[in-house]
Amino acid sequence: MMSRSFQRLALAGVLASAGLVIATGPAEAGNKPAKTVPVRLLSLNDFHGHLEPPTGSSGRMVDEHGATVEAGGAAYVATHLKQLSDKNTLKVAQGDLIGGTPLVSAAFHDEPSVEFLGKVGVTTSAVGNHEFDEGYDELKRIMYGGCHPVDGCSPAGEWKGAKYDYIGANVLLKRKSTTAEKEVLKALGGKANPNSLRALLKDYGIPALPPVSVRWMNGVPVGFIGLVTQTTPNIVTAAGIKDLEFIDEVKAANVASRLLKLVGVKAQVVLVHEGDQVTPNQSPDTCSAVPGAGNRIATQVDAEIDMILSGHSHQAYLCTVTDPKGNQRLYSQGGSFGRVITQVDFRVDTRTRDVVRSSVVADNHVVTRTVAPDPEISAFVQTWKDRVSTVANKPIGKITADIVNTAVASGESPLGNLIADGQLAATRTGGNAQIALMNPGGVRASLTYASSPAGEGDGVVTYGEAFTVQPFNNLVQVVTLTGAQLKTVLEEQFTGGPNKQAFTKILQPSSNFTYAYSASAPWGSKISDMKIDGVPVTDTQTIRVAANNFLVGGGDAFDTFELGTDVWSGPLDIDAFAAYFAANPVLSPPVPDHITVKP
């Protein structure tokens, strides 16, 4: 969608099922234009629905002076955006704006967060992997409107759709289309050369989302190319994206860049939901990024692209990288949870309509809470807090001490074990589960003894606190694996295998399942001594294994889970967790000693 300042501009059309959004600008004014004009970008990434100020380490940020400060929260984001905006400003984002969100947003399928981002003027965002948490169809509903097909309309009424564009050039439909050229020509108003367009589409495909968005500022067009990590199929539930493929980010960006050039857009910005890790505790304005997947994209995409604003890794950095023609360009990221706003100022030559690279200046601003919170957004957030409070504040049980998601040396954690035990209990009847495994990335926070709403330190656990731990609304499922397949699943926790695990991810076992591993052993020989209830597991026996549908679908590169048979679906993970508290009203921290580490 276009902001009010762009409503006078026409759209060139829609590509495939979603569309290529092109705003056609007016001719330059009769007065002689300035040689260059200014443009300012303000960007967010990985907001994850943090309408309320995030707490704990998630709510702290190292600032430009090396001090750790409290940061984030929608009302503070709004204030900082207003302070940083001028008449030359476009607001953009790099994905994961929704998904993996606190209950105040997730209870309403993230409509409050998308509405907030529209209110503060975001115009364009790349999709992130979490935008697909509830599937492609739900993402389209968020983009274009309509009530949820199961839960119906929220208390705010029928959802009107996002006020900003979601774009993803490397998200394609698996089905082929024989009318691709005709569809794209229509989208471009017939202005692209058919032969050039035909060559462009030959090895590409049909986008499932708008690949680009073009915004006009001060008489010049600025093109945005959206990209999401190509690892998305490994980290979201497979069923929701079964009709999609996620191609290499560089390939897609280069096609999108040429598409922009076909219609004369030369000022090009990549918004990519992929990034790199950093050296810890650095200023957000330093180039502390350790070159990885994000750097590969930033250095390899077409030299026509002027800058790369990234996300996904939840880090803050400002780097200069070299493009394929040896020129310098910006590569940046702005943390997560609304704690940093990236400001990029540059000038565009009005004759060539290209970015003057030497004019690019970037600054990562920490969203401090020392400013006055925006009153309109504060009231907006309070409205949704009131709407969700009845559910969020309901006690579901008690704990005797903190139950943390911090891993011990073996990789398991007390809270991971507890969740696995709850999932096993929820699936023994009906699913005939014998063990349970939980992905560590799905355990998002610890349970704290002193965190009850009244703050008495009485160990009360509320539904809202439990939801913070498990915010994804995954189904708990049960599949049959052989002992040999179960061993392979555990081998897939480590790098070096055919599943191409990016880094070691230790699954959290239920208390009745034990085994040993040797990290130094060759892949395929790391796992030994598997036992269920103390009985050794053989290669040929069949085992009913409970896990969430994310893992069962092969998420986190656990490919062998997809070989499981006789799939049985049980409750939502959060409901299984709540039911475990109901059956065990006072829980103590499990001892994470189910995995033995060998040399």
Query: What pLDDT does residue 189 have?
Result: 44
Tens digit of pLDDT for each residue in 141-196?
Answer: 999 999 999 999 999 999 999 999 999 999 999 876 545 455 445 444 456 666 76
Q: Which residue has the higher pLDDT, 455 or 242?
A: 242
Residues with Cβ within 8 Å of 87's Cβ and at least 6 positions away in sequence, in order, are: none
Distance CA 555, CA 158 (A): 33
CA 506 to chain centre: 21
Q: Are 224 and 276 in contact (CB under 8 A)?
A: no
Average pLDDT, the chain: 90
Give the tens place of pLDDT for each residue, 240-294: 999 999 999 999 999 999 999 999 999 999 999 999 999 888 999 999 999 999 9
Count of CB atoms within 10 A of residue 565's CB? 10
pLDDT bucket at 31, cuts 50 / 70 / 90:
low
Q: Report phi then psi at 391, rounded to 5.
A: -75, -45
| Angstrom distance (rounded) from CA 309 to CA 279 | 19
579 vs 596: CA distance, rounded Å: 30
The distance from CA 293 to its chain's CA centroid, rounded to whole angstroms, is: 15
Angle formed at CA 111 by CA 108 and CA 112, multiple of 5 degrees: 90
Asked if residue 216 has pLDDT above 90, the reply is yes
Please give the average per-residue pLDDT across 14-29, as a whole number. 38
In the DSSP assignment, the letter for residue 311 is -
What six digits make up the tokens of 129?
A: 């992997």
Reduce the secondary structure of 220-289 to three states and give it as a string: EEEEEEEEECCCHHHHCCHHHHCCEEECCHHHHHHHHHHHHHHCCCCEEEEEEECCCCECCCCCCCCCCE
Of residues 380, 402, 459, 363, the one with CA closest to residue 84 = 363
User: Which alpha helices (DSSP H) does 434-498 contain, by range?
Assistant: 463-469, 483-491
Which stretches of 14-73 are assigned E, i.e. beta strand? 23-24, 36-44, 60-62, 68-70
d(CA 530, CA 528): 6
So what's the pLDDT on residue 9? 27
Q: Under a CB-based contact definition with an 8 Å cutoff, are residues 574 and 466 in contact?
A: yes
User: How do residues 386-426 score in pLDDT, each as one tens digit?
Assistant: 999 988 999 999 999 999 999 999 999 999 999 999 999 99
pLDDT band at 502 (very low <50, low <70, confident <90, very high): confident
Cα separation values, 505 from 244, 407, 521, 547, Å: 26, 11, 16, 15
Q: Tell me the sheet residues that pair with 487.
A: none
Residue matched to tokens 């993996």: 100
Residue 382 clears pLDDT 70, i.e. is over it: yes
Contact 203, 180 (CB under 8 A): no
458 band by pLDDT with thresholds 50, 70 and 90: confident
Q: Is the pLDDT of residue 138 over 90?
A: yes
Instruction: Please give the average per-residue pLDDT across 504-526, as a whole number.
Output: 97
The amino acid sitting at 478 is V
Region of 66 please: left (phi>0), alpha (psi -120 to 50) or beta: left
Q: How confident is the model at residue 4 (pLDDT cuts 50, 70, 90)?
A: very low
Report the sign of the C-alpha dihedral through residues 550, 592, 510, 565, in that order: positive
Dist CA 315 CA 291 (whole Å): 13
- CA dist., res. 21 & res. 221, Å (int): 12
Could you tell me which of 594, 599, 412 has the C-alpha nearest to residue 521?
A: 599
Task: List Cβ neighbours of 98 (8 Å cut-off, separation of 6 or more).
Answer: 47, 48, 49, 105, 110, 113, 114, 130, 131, 133, 142
Per-residue DSSP letter, 458: S
Residue 23 has pLDDT above 80, yes or no: no
Is the CB of residue 258 less than 8 Å from the CB of residue 302?
Answer: yes
Burial state string for 36-59 with b = 16 or more CB within 10 A and e = fewer than 16: bbbbbbbbbbbbbbbbbbbbeebb
Chain length of the chain: 599
Q: Can you tell me whether residue 161 is helix, strand or coil? A: coil
Task: Compute the distance between CA of residue 306 and CA of residue 270 in angstroms, rounded to an integer.
Answer: 8
Share of the chain above pLDDT 70, in %: 89
pLDDT of residue 236: 87
pLDDT confidence of residue 243:
93
Give me the pLDDT at residue 175, please.
73
Is the predicted pLDDT of residue 80 greater than 90, yes or no?
A: yes
What's the whole-number mean pLDDT along residues 509-537? 98
Q: Which residue in this structure is represented by tokens 């032969």?
A: 195
The CA distance from 358 to 307, in Å, is: 12
Question: Order of strands, edge to edge, in the sheet holding 340-349?
Answer: 165-167, 122-126, 89-93, 36-44, 340-349, 355-366
Q: What is the 3-state secondary structure (H, E, C) of 505-569?
A: CCCEECCCEEEEEECCCCCCCCEEEEEECCEECCCCCEEEEEEEHHHHCCHHHCHHHHHCEEEEE
Which CA distances in Å does 63 have to 178, 196, 327?
52, 48, 30
Range 293-314 burial, b when 16+ CB lie within 10 A, else e? bbbebbbbbbebbbbbbbbbbb
